[in-house]
Structure 1
Amino acid sequence: MTLQFKTEYLAQIRQRYFNSSKKQKSIILDELCSVTGFHRKYAIKILSKGHMNTPKSSGRTKVYSDTSIFHLKRLWHLMGRMCSKKMVAAFPVWLNYYQGKGFGPYVKNELLLMSPATVDRYLRSYKAQFARRKRTGTIRGSKNFQNIIPLKIFEEKESVPGFIECDTVAHCGTSLSGKFAWSITVTDIYSGWTNNRAIFGKGADETLSGIIKIMQLTPYSIRSFNVDNGTEFLNRYFVEYFNGMKGVNLTRSRAYRKNDNCHVEQKNFTHVRETFGYERIDEENLIKYMNEIYQDYLNPLLNFFTPQLKLVEKYRVGSSYKRKYDKPKTPYHRLMESSALSQKQKYDLEREYMKYNPILLKKELGRKISHLNKYLKNKVRVSVVENNKNAHS
């Protein structure tokens, strides 16, 4: 039997084979094997070849389009690389302002339908490349002031805004020598509302002046102000100022216990390090530029449009701890839901919220930071060249 005959014979019976019942298929296979001499399994294989035009792919059926995945990755960068739960909570607001090539109602609906687990699955291999470093410039303050300022009561759960934690972050590069920029971080435990301000040097006067300016911007009444044991806080000027404030308790955390000030320690990374990195900033004329970034772009973006998770319950099961969090909300929405704010405070806060567009804030913030980074890198390059010239002269 020639090969051409076998090919023509297979073409004749292939369609008849797949339109037949199981019993009829068995009879057709018996006939094919006796005529061509094929093995039965081989006959089944070659009969199925021309019939299945598109082979069935293994694994999970694809639900979301490639365009949606592309915009998901773009939004992750645009939204400050927040976690999946915060992204899903922020999508209803951010997507109203977002624009991009190929982005339309269909893609928007797909993004709104995504769960946090789905976002994690699509972004897992894309975002596993960012490391963090840790460095501290805190110098322990005098024991005299430690005795004056009481320790914070840690068992108390703050149910209203106004319980503040404060800390400083050094923009020193790889050396703590000389004078350089510091960032003050002030965060509210209840809502997560955070304000930052840059100062040049960490003297008592500079630190207190920066904190006073931050407190003037807070949209709620301050009830308690908690600090660490650094010399910028434990000093005469600081204690005298807060002793003169009615209704505000000045407290401190325990020395070398970062978890005592955990809320502001977390914001030191998300608000300061993720923005300015670990570069050395030792020019006083850059302080005004940093404060413009904080006040006009970064703080409004994170306070009004970036949801935060809040720990509701923590309990131990065996050797591990289980944690439960509430629904992600922005600090702005937590303050608006609080009964501790007056109607005037909420009205002023809402007017401030309506002024901003998160997409424009993020783009302008990126442009400002890029400009600062280029300036600092160029400064380092010039410094290296000058050092090499001096070494060869």
Structure 2
Amino acid sequence: MARRSKHEYLRVMWQRYQRAGRRERSALLDEVTRVCRYHRKYAIGLLSRAAPPRPPVRRVIRRRPTYGEPVIRLLAEIWAASGYLCGQRLKAALPHWLPWLTRRTAVTPAVEAQLRRISARQIDRRLRDRKRRLKRRLYGTTRPGSLLKQQIPIKTEHWDVRTPGYLEIDLVSHTGASAAGEFLHTVDGVDIHTTWVERQAVMGKSRHGVVQAMTTIESQLPFPLRGVDSDNGSEFIHDHLLAWCQQLSAVIQ
């Protein structure tokens, strides 16, 4: 029986018990001991009270965090130095990284014991916010191009390419540990049929730079460029590259 329904049942039985005679009270006690599985003396004390039974109070036990901020800060330091390992790999690597950590900073025996004891699941949970911030900083450089999407043909199925000249292109950022400021990118073009690769370096993500890189790639190909397949980033979805593709298409035709 659920707690709420049990309390409501006892409240009704208490009201009936207060108004009942001796014989009826005995029958009510029999029913309460059978339904609630109480001892008869406990049921008598419960129904004979001056006030009806109160609902049970749920005690909320708040657990203090097992691993404090100093432990998580040192864990994050090892996580960054190890190349941002996942929880399971970082758990296995912690014993090997602790000597490196103790040479760099003061680590108490209690903190070291907690670092050795922390589970992979706790590692992932306690580093979750740091992972989100790192992902936005490292991988947040591509922005969807909102213009000209209605003018650019979209192909959703696999390309059945049997001739060379159709390039899969992408822009690779070389940011290191920070995406702040200007840095080099590589325009990477791979021919789908022959897997021929051409690459050009671009400073920043300017439209002029990307078009210039595509012009150089097109001139270095050993076959005519017939089509370009890119993602929807604004470095490719813009009017300059669209005009360049249209001009190239007119020359090929």
**TM-score, normalised relative to structure 2:** 0.43
The structure number with the bigger radius of gyration is 2
Q: Which has the higher contact order (CA 8 A, sep 6+)?
A: 1
**TM-score, normalised relative to structure 1:** 0.28
